[in-house]
A and B are shown apart, each in its own frame.
Chain A
């Protein structure tokens, strides 16, 4: 197997007595787009800042293209970075901002001007070169910041929550633009975010972080559909968690409230009498019995929210509540609160959280 382009090996970071990153490991392939996803304080930004050189690891090493960069200063790493707060230089025009890194690197003016024009084209702001940052919207400023970061052709691009300060609509369009530019240039990219939708939509792989550690590293499909831990299952996407008790471990029978479901082959290691947390994504549940769904539970509808194209229904099953979405059909009225209801699902879609 080829060597990874970026290798973060056993990295730890402590501030005084507090350890914010512990034994973090990650290999990133050339041209890959990897997101660090996690709640505030999980250590994702600290890892990114260690890759950038703004923080020095307490232990471990960081290797880029076969070279150990752990002790190099940020200005010696040839890494591009986009900050949450844009960080454009207020005294410089857009063109001067983009040319900053090129000028520092000693690029001749004619070449730098050409590169600036090329960058402005890439970010689709070709007429903005003479403007000052305060004359631009947040989305435009962040695109300029992206152009400034990639203009010196860095080995690695680091994005530190670049979309957090923008409004929802701009966020969606800019994330798609970032991904398309990244693919076009083939630049290896690390993207830090606490927004799961952002991470799921644009990443090749996601490292879900919690408590200073990578809980799971995988493709968005794997992270969403096969979460490795309870934290990942809860943090990524909406999840219905049902408390169950193993009644017959050999045949995979689990009791939820007073009803029984069969989870054959999924109870690895559990014994009869053990209590389990069972998880189901809302989209894996149907209201009423549906063909191809081998399991069902009965309950009572506790809430109905009409959201236009979708109707969100909550069904109480004993002490558990299950949330599911059904499509609106003009011919069928939505279910009523208090009605008896049956939900069906495929036992294969049920996750057993340990």
Chain B
């Protein structure tokens, strides 16, 4: 038993070292801008750069629209599949996994071919159209995470009986979704939303190929031309992602407890 515990600790320490050493090295390097002393100069430069603020805001807005689009598509779809079409669930799960299999570059080239300025749907003919296409692309990329989060949330409640209980009390579909289903899967939806946010903030391929002023291409641009700032940016991006993950953990504690499964 003692030997087993020793090796468990060895594996744990090796894993933690593999994860933390590059992170610590990056933090350490990002603070060495001033010769001979540690400082936050690189962070000050990055955070004070107007391009950082503009691209970051652009990506935040894109993330918000992506989350709205994702929720509008995924919540009713996942709900309806659970309620009325459980037999097609494996097919839908497969479709939602496709964005993990098909590289983003393939999707974006497909978009460029399909929605060019000469196509019947010329999304790429205007800035607004291109922005909309980027959001649609992001919603596709985030689909596996959003669908799984919502579906897991729906699994914790008895969708069919709650729907029928609301129906028999006179509720229509709008009331059922907004007052019964959505509040009970809200935490799951928010989990999906934060995962989407984390994906969108760092996304490079789509934003770059659609020539959008997003945070991902800015990160790449800085990385190619500066020494200490990219490390500071990497840490900032890491903190944002970890912040999102922590929020998911915190929010999950407030999930409504099912009447049938009190704990």
| Chain A interface residues (CB < 8 Å from chain B) | 52-54, 73-75, 77-81, 83, 85-91, 100-101, 104-105, 132-136, 141, 145, 148-149, 152
Contact = CB atoms under 8 A, between A and B. Distances in A.
B168 A104 contact: no
B90 interface: no
Nearest to A158: B168
A92 to B, nearest CB: 8
B257 A134 contact: yes
Contact of B165 (A78, A87, A105, A132): A87
A26 B167 CA distance: 25
Contacts of B157: 90
Given A91-B183, A91-B184, A86 B167 contact: no
26 contacts: A53-B167, A54-B164, A75-B172, A78-B170, A80-B169, A85-B158, A85-B161, A85-B260, A86-B260, A87-B164, A88-B165, A89-B165, A89-B180, A90-B257, A91-B180, A91-B183, A100-B166, A100-B171, A104-B169, A104-B170, A104-B175, A134-B257, A134-B258, A141-B259, A145-B165, A149-B168
A54 B169 CA distance: 13
B153 to A, nearest CB: 12
A99 B164 CA distance: 16
Interface of B: 157-158, 161-162, 164-172, 175, 179-180, 183-184, 256-260, 262
A134 B168 contact: no
Nearest to B185: A91
Nearest to A144: B259
A98 to B, nearest CB: 10
A347 to B, nearest CB: 50
Contacts, number: 82
A91 B256 contact: yes
Contact of B184 (A89, A135, A152): A89
B260 A79 contact: no
Contacts of B262: 134-135
Per CB-CB distance, the 4 closest pairs between chain A and chain B, nearest first, are A101-B169, A133-B259, A87-B165, A91-B183
B169 A100 contact: yes
Given A91-B180, A104-B175, A134-B258, 6 more contacts: A83-B164, A86-B259, A91-B184, A133-B259, A141-B259, A149-B168
A74 B168 contact: yes
Contacts of B170: 75, 78, 101, 104-105, 152
B162 A89 contact: yes
B169 A83 contact: no
A148 B157 CA distance: 19
A212 B172 CA distance: 31
Nearest to B175: A104
A52 B183 CA distance: 25
Given A87-B165, A89-B165, A89-B184, A75 B171 contact: yes
Contacts of A53: 167-168
A134 B164 CA distance: 20
Contacts of A88: 165, 259
